Amino acid sequence: MTETPTQMTESIGMTETAGASADRRTSEPAVLVLEDGRRYDGRAYGARGRTLGEAVFATGMTGYQETLTDPSYAGQIVMMTAPHIGNTGMNDEDMESARIWVAGFIVRDPSRVVSNFRSQRSLDDDLAEAGIVGISGIDTRAVTRHLRSAGAMRSGIFSGDDALLSAGEQLDLVRGGAEMAGLNLSGTVSTTEAYTLPAEGERVGSVVVLDLGVKTSTLKYLAERGFDVHVVPQSITAEEVLAMSPDALFFSNGPGDPGASDRHVDLLRTTLREGLPYFGICFGNQLLARALGFGTYKLTFGHRGINQPVLDKATGRVEITSHNHGFAVDAPIDRVSESSEGFGRVEVSHYDLNDNVVEGLNCLDIPAFSVQYHPESAAGPHDANYLFDRFREMVVANKETNA
The answer to whether the annotation marks 105 as part of a ligand binding site is no
Q: What is the pLDDT of residue 25?
A: 46
Judgement on whether residues 164 and 196 belong to the same structural domain of the protein = no
Q: Is the pLDDT of residue 345 over 60?
A: yes
pLDDT band at 261 (very low <50, low <70, confident <90, very high): very high
The answer to whether the annotation marks 286 as part of a ligand binding site is yes
CATH code where residue 67 lies:
3.50.30.20
pLDDT band at 308 (very low <50, low <70, confident <90, very high): very high
Judgement on whether residues 42 and 157 belong to the same structural domain of the protein = yes
Tell me how many domains the chain contains: 2
Respond yes or no: is residue 363 known to be catalytic. no
Q: What is the pLDDT of residue 15?
A: 32
Judgement on whether residues 209 and 83 belong to the same structural domain of the protein = no
Judgement on whether residues 265 and 320 belong to the same structural domain of the protein = yes
Judgement on whether residues 143 and 221 belong to the same structural domain of the protein = no
The answer to whether the annotation marks 302 as part of a ligand binding site is no
pLDDT band at 26 (very low <50, low <70, confident <90, very high): low
Q: Between these two residues, 52 and 62, which has the higher pLDDT value?
A: 52
Respond yes or no: is residue 264 known to be catalytic. no
Respond yes or no: is residue 376 known to be catalytic. yes
The residue type of 118 is R
First to last CA, the chain: 39
Q: Is the pLDDT of residue 392 over 80?
A: yes
Q: Which of 282, 319, 325, 359 is catalytic?
A: 282
The answer to whether the annotation marks 72 as part of a ligand binding site is yes
Q: Which of 35, 319, 359, 376 is catalytic?
A: 376
The answer to whether the annotation marks 256 as part of a ligand binding site is yes
Q: Is residue 248 part of a domain?
A: yes
Q: What is the mean pLDDT of residues 109-134?
A: 94
Q: Which of 146, 303, 325, 374 is catalytic?
A: 374
pLDDT tens-digit series, residues 215-226: 999 999 999 999
Q: What is the mean pLDDT of residues 86-93?
A: 94
**39 φ, ψ to 5°?**
-130, 140
Q: Is the pLDDT of residue 22 over 60?
A: no
Q: Is residue 42 part of a domain?
A: yes
pLDDT tens-digit series, residues 130-165: 999 999 999 999 999 999 999 999 999 999 999 999
Q: Which domain covers residue 93, as residue numbers?
A: 18-175
pLDDT band at 402 (very low <50, low <70, confident <90, very high): confident
Share of the chain above pLDDT 70, in %: 94
Q: Is 69 exposed, middle or buried (0-12, 13-18, 19+ CB in 10 A)?
A: buried
Judgement on whether residues 171 and 190 belong to the same structural domain of the protein = no
Q: Is residue 114 part of a domain?
A: yes
Q: What is the pLDDT of residue 134?
A: 98
Cα dist. 270→134, 337, 338, 385 in Å? 43, 21, 18, 28
Q: Between these two residues, 385 and 361, which has the higher pLDDT value?
A: 361
The answer to whether the annotation marks 398 as part of a ligand binding site is no
Q: Is residue 5 part of a domain?
A: no
Mean pLDDT (the chain, rounded): 92
Judgement on whether residues 154 and 242 belong to the same structural domain of the protein = no
Judgement on whether residues 82 and 146 belong to the same structural domain of the protein = yes
CB neighbours of 117 closer than 8 A, spacing ≥ 6?
none
Q: Is residue 46 part of a domain?
A: yes
Judgement on whether residues 247 and 393 belong to the same structural domain of the protein = yes
